[in-house]
Amino acid sequence: MKFLDQAKVYIRSGDGGGGAVSFRREKFIEFGGPDGGDGGRGGDVFVEAVQGLNTLIDYRYQQHFKAQKGTHGMGRNRTGAGGEDMVLRVPVGTQVFDEDGETLLADLTEIGQRVRLAKGGNGGFGNLHFTTSTNRAPRHANPGQDGEERWIWLRLKLIADGGLVGLPNAGKSTFLAATTAAKPKIADYPFTTLHPGLGVVRIDAREFVLADIPGLIEGAHEGAGLGDRFLGHVERCRVLLHLVEGTSEHAGKAYKTVRKELEAYGHGLADKPEIVALSKADALDPETLKEQLARLKRAAKRTPLVLSSATGRGVPEALRAILAVVDEAKGAEREAQAPAVAEWRP
């Protein structure tokens, strides 16, 4: 399935049905009078986060979604049927923006969360509603109200506990394949990963979700390479694992390049907890490994981990470090959401 994380769609709620102009004309009924029913209400347009979806590919080939119109009212005071709602089913983590691309209409972060994007038009009143003491036989009714229409943007931001960042060919996909059941494309050239990927990590009888995004290069925030559009998929991560290729020319410079792009992107990415690791350690001799570690330590101002996804060196330690930060973040969130308990004093 092709990965699609952005789509522009047109939505329109249903028009309300018109009211009816009708009179009772029955034998042996001396005073018939008006009996026109009201029109039915038009359907709404909702967006709902559902389980089992991880891409917006369904909105690649169909961009127009319209709710059903309400049925017109009928005689004998019969109200028209309401129109059926239109529900846009999207993956968890989808954000809905107005046509300007900046006004946020909805942010769906939980399964089952539903938001109304367009309200259906009300049905019109039949002529029965217009009966008065001086107008016993009104011959007019209200038309139904028009529905709402608009263009919206759907943008998917994957929800994961940890995210992998780094330059192209830093070993992110290899790390994801070694620690999860995901099968990303792996090759010995840059930009092998063209779309974000997700995997579930199992360590010490625990699980967490890990996200991998295409590599960043210098100038990514200006559109260089694949740009920084995929950084949105790690905005929701609680911790970043920054992989720096050990076989690069200078590990410290490689680290600083990615950090500059994270800071230029903004949205709080540069402030997220970060775990720094030197990858592809199996391809380095002891002297080069020591030199690259020293460079990376000076640049990151912390002691980096040493990783080799091929041999498994340092992988469990990195996963446990990610899990520790995730647990800490979840604990802080629970404390923030817990209601305050008043202190009792005698």
The residues near 134 (Cβ < 8 Å, ≥ 6 apart) are none
The residues near 164 (Cβ < 8 Å, ≥ 6 apart) are 172, 175, 176, 210, 211, 212, 213, 240, 241, 243
Q: Is 170 annotated as a binding residue?
A: yes
Q: Is 13 annotated as a binding residue?
A: no
What's the rounded Cα separation, in Å, for the pair 260 and 315?
26
Q: Is 35 annotated as a binding residue?
A: no
Q: Is 308 annotated as a binding residue?
A: yes
Q: Is 138 annotated as a binding residue?
A: no
Kindly report the backbone phi and psi dihedral angles of residue 304, in degrees, each rounded to the nearest multiple of 5, phi listed first: -80, 160
Kindly report the backbone phi and psi dihedral angles of residue 116, in degrees, each rounded to the nearest multiple of 5, phi listed first: -85, 125
Q: Is 214 annotated as a binding residue?
A: yes
Q: Is 256 annotated as a binding residue?
A: no
Q: Is 279 annotated as a binding residue?
A: yes
Q: Is 193 annotated as a binding residue?
A: yes
Q: Is 323 annotated as a binding residue?
A: no
Q: Is 158 annotated as a binding residue?
A: no
Q: Is 173 annotated as a binding residue?
A: yes
Q: Is 107 annotated as a binding residue?
A: no
Q: Is 280 annotated as a binding residue?
A: yes
Q: Is 194 annotated as a binding residue?
A: yes
The residues near 188 (Cβ < 8 Å, ≥ 6 apart) are 169
Q: State whether the Cα torsion 229-233-237-243 is positive or negative.
A: negative
Total residues belonging to the chain: 346
Task: Look at residues 284, 271, 193 and name the one whose alpha carbon lies nearest to residue 245.
Answer: 284
Q: Is 167 annotated as a binding residue?
A: yes
Q: Is 133 annotated as a binding residue?
A: no
Q: Is 172 annotated as a binding residue?
A: yes
Q: Is 146 annotated as a binding residue?
A: no
Q: Is 215 annotated as a binding residue?
A: yes
Tokens encoding 335:
């404390």
Q: Is 137 annotated as a binding residue?
A: no
Binding residues: 166-173, 191-195, 212-215, 279-282, 308-310
Binding residues for Mg(2+): 173, 193
Binding residues for GTP: 166-173, 191-195, 212-215, 279-282, 308-310
